């Protein structure tokens, strides 16, 4: 597959790029600067682009089979930029006639019990709230309304950190995945495995999927 990966320079994006390249896909990795450190592969091309600009997304997405996103607002931007990015990416894919989108989303909108989202729980950290709210808005108000693209909104567990690639993970539609002790965790490497599987196998189309152990 020929994949355009938005956010390839990010912590999760670099690991998704590595996983896709290991599986012999060709990856065009986007960052604002055009620099993507730490990815060295003949099938990888780093390019510059602005994911808030639908024209830029359309230009970059042309001639790709699918678009992946590990976009994040970064430390300095207003988290609401995630909603602008979602709008621009959806519009850019339409203009480029690319049908498949897998988006790295947030766990905050996943249910921990019927009718209760993670963000509504008492222990949800205040410092995560602004980006979690923006990620929910990007899904609920933009992506979930889209039926002309084959999108998947793939959300990590409550905690995602650099770790081991075990190849193991579980997914659940709309639900936070936690282990038998109630811990919700996934390594970035195993999240990348799930991301690549979902992309390759066309799993989870029009679903908000949680990933964890
Ligand atoms: N448990 C959870 O729910 C959870 C936990 C962690 C992360 N996440 C989500 O996962 C996603 C990725 O997280 P991360 O930690 O890997 O993020 P990150 O390291 O901050 O990376 C963000 C990426 O987005 C790119 N980017 C930002 N603005 C851009 C723009 N206007 N145009 C093009 N690229 C742009 C950055 O590229 P440059 O800065 O190089 O241009 C970078 O590649 C985020 O949406 C985050 O909220 C969820």
DSSP secondary structure of 57-99: HHHHHTT-SEEEE----TTTS-TTHHHHHHHHHHHHHHHHT--
CA–CA separation, 10 vs 164, rounded Å? 18
> Phi first, then psi: what are they for 26, rounded to 5°?
-95, 135
Do 73 and 79 touch, CB atoms closer than 8 A?
A: yes
Alpha helices (H) in the chain, listed in sequence order: 11-22, 54-61, 81-96, 129-137, 188-201
CA–CA separation, 166 vs 194, rounded Å? 11
Closest residue by Cα to atom 5, ligand 1, is 160
Do 109 and 135 touch, CB atoms closer than 8 A?
A: yes
Question: What integer pLDDT is reported at residue 76 of this predicted model?
Answer: 86
- Closest atom of ligand 1 relative to the 36 alpha carbon: 40
- Tens digit of pLDDT for each residue in 73-95? 988 899 999 999 999 999 999 99
Distance, CA 121 to ligand 1 centroid (Å)?
24
The whole-chain average pLDDT of the chain stands at 97
Domains of the chain by range and CATH? 2-212 (3.40.50.720)
Question: What integer pLDDT is reported at residue 75 of this predicted model?
Answer: 84
β 44-48/207-212 pair status: unpaired
- Tens digit of pLDDT for each residue in 151-202? 999 999 999 999 999 999 999 999 999 999 999 999 999 999 999 999 999 9
Instruction: Tell me which of 27, 74, 213 to substitute to probe ligand 1's pocket, judged by most ligand atoms within 8 Å of the beta carbon.
Output: 74
Question: What integer pLDDT is reported at residue 116 of this predicted model?
Answer: 98
Closest residue by Cα to atom 46, ligand 1, is 72
Closest residue by Cα to atom 47, ligand 1, is 72
Q: Which residues line ligand 1 (CB under 6 A)?
A: 6-13, 30-33, 49-52, 70-72, 74, 104, 106-107, 131, 135, 155-156, 158, 160
């Amino acid at each position: 597959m020929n994949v355009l990966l938005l956010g390839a320079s990010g912590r999760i994006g670099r690991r998704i790029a590595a996983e896709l390249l290991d599986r012999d896909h060709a990856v065009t990795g986007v960052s604002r600067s055009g620099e993507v450190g730490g990815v060295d592969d003949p099938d990888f091309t780093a390019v510059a682009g602005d994911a808030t600009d639908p024209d830029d997304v359309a230009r970059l997405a042309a001639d790709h089979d699918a678009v992946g996103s590990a976009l994040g607002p970064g430390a300095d931007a207003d988290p609401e930029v995630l909603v602008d990015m979602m709008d621009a990416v959806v519009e850019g894919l339409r203009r480029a006639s690319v049908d498949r989108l897998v988006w790295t989303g947030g766990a905050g909108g996943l249910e921990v019990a019927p009718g209760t989202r993670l963000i509504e729980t008492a222990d949800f950290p205040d410092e995560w709230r602004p980006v979690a709210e923006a990620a929910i808005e990007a899904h609920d108000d933009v992506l979930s309304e889209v039926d002309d693209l084959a999108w998947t909104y793939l959300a990590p567990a409550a905690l995602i950190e650099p770790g081991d690639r075990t190849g193991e993970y579980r997914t659940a539609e709309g639900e936070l995945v936690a282990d038998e002790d109630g811990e919700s965790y996934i390594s970035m490497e195993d999240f990348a495995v799930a991301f690549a599987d979902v992309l390759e196998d066309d799993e989870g189309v029009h679903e908000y999927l949680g990933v964890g152990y």
